[in-house]
Amino acid sequence: MVRGQAIRGGCVVERCERCGHLERDLERCPADHRDLAYGGEPTLDRIRLGLTYRELVRDGVPGRVFEVGYGSGSMLRRFLDDGARVAGVDPDQLGIGVDEVVRERGDLRVGGIEDTSGLPGDQDLVYGIHVLEHVVDPHAALRSSLELLRPGGTGSFLTPAGDSSGVERYGAAWWMLEDPTHVRFFTADSLARAAEAVGFVDVEVRRLLLDSLSVDAASLARAVRPGPRPRGVLASRAVLAGAVASIPVVLAERALRPRSRPTLQLLARRP
């Protein structure tokens, strides 16, 4: 059962009563979305990936890693350079070139995570960086990820927080709604329940302090000047400059108010 939930700015999302997360239909929640899935900025993306990598290897570099939605392969390249064996699957949604070293030395597949049945369950780490909000069936994606892990292996997924205060503050201007392929947003509770439902154990959901540091500046720019931006608001140098300048303020608020953090990280283990 779902029920409509109106958010400020003429946008309606559906809240799933059974699973708890928010589902988004572009016709009911267009939110001045851009034309393409990718609307980031390369320098900011490199910084974000560096911070994310630090999170993923905080307990050491795993021997075998599998990325769901590897994109250009830049994260897999970091693992590869640190000695890991790398693999991954991607539907080529972003249409960008893949790192040649990763292409040559990694086990890369084109498709969805649901297409990996039959692969051995021998991975130490299976992770996805902002992918669960795109997939049609997140439970199937999590189940397939679980099956790729060895017993005791770790699953880690980053996804926008549908229960962050940014949704209430910015409404339809929230930058996470700019991506037309963001079809659902988890809450901390619904993400934990989804992982437990497919068999993960030791489930923990964190609110990340340092992920997506440009969200507030980008959201504010969309709120102040609403309207179509086919390339996305971060294509503006003025918005980028504002995002960089606002980082100290953003970090201070996130430290004081954890719900202002726009990203959830799921950490869980295969029994």
pLDDT value of residue 94: 58
pLDDT value of residue 17: 78
**247-267 average pLDDT score:** 97
* Structure confidence by residue, pLDDT tens digits, 173-228: 999 999 999 999 999 999 999 999 999 999 999 999 999 999 999 999 999 999 99
- Under 8 Å between Cβ of 44 and 243: yes
**How far is residue 3's CA from residue 199's CA, in Å, rounded to a whole number?**
28
As a residue count, the chain comes to 271
The number of CA neighbours under 13 Å toward the Cβ of 11 is 24
Q: pLDDT confidence of 19, banded at 50, 70, 90?
A: confident
pLDDT value of residue 10: 84
**231-238 average pLDDT score:** 94
DSSP 8-state class, residue 48: H
Q: pLDDT confidence of 263, banded at 50, 70, 90?
A: very high
Position 2 pLDDT exceeds 70: no
* Structure confidence by residue, pLDDT tens digits, 100-124: 999 999 999 988 888 887 889 999 9
pLDDT value of residue 42: 84
* Structure confidence by residue, pLDDT tens digits, 128-173: 999 999 998 999 999 999 999 999 999 999 999 999 999 999 999 9
35-65 b/e (C-beta count within 10 Å ≥ 16 → b): eebebbbeebeeebbeebbebbbeeebbebb
Q: pLDDT confidence of 93, banded at 50, 70, 90?
A: low
* Structure confidence by residue, pLDDT tens digits, 20-76: 888 999 999 999 999 988 888 888 888 889 999 999 999 999 999 999 999 999 999
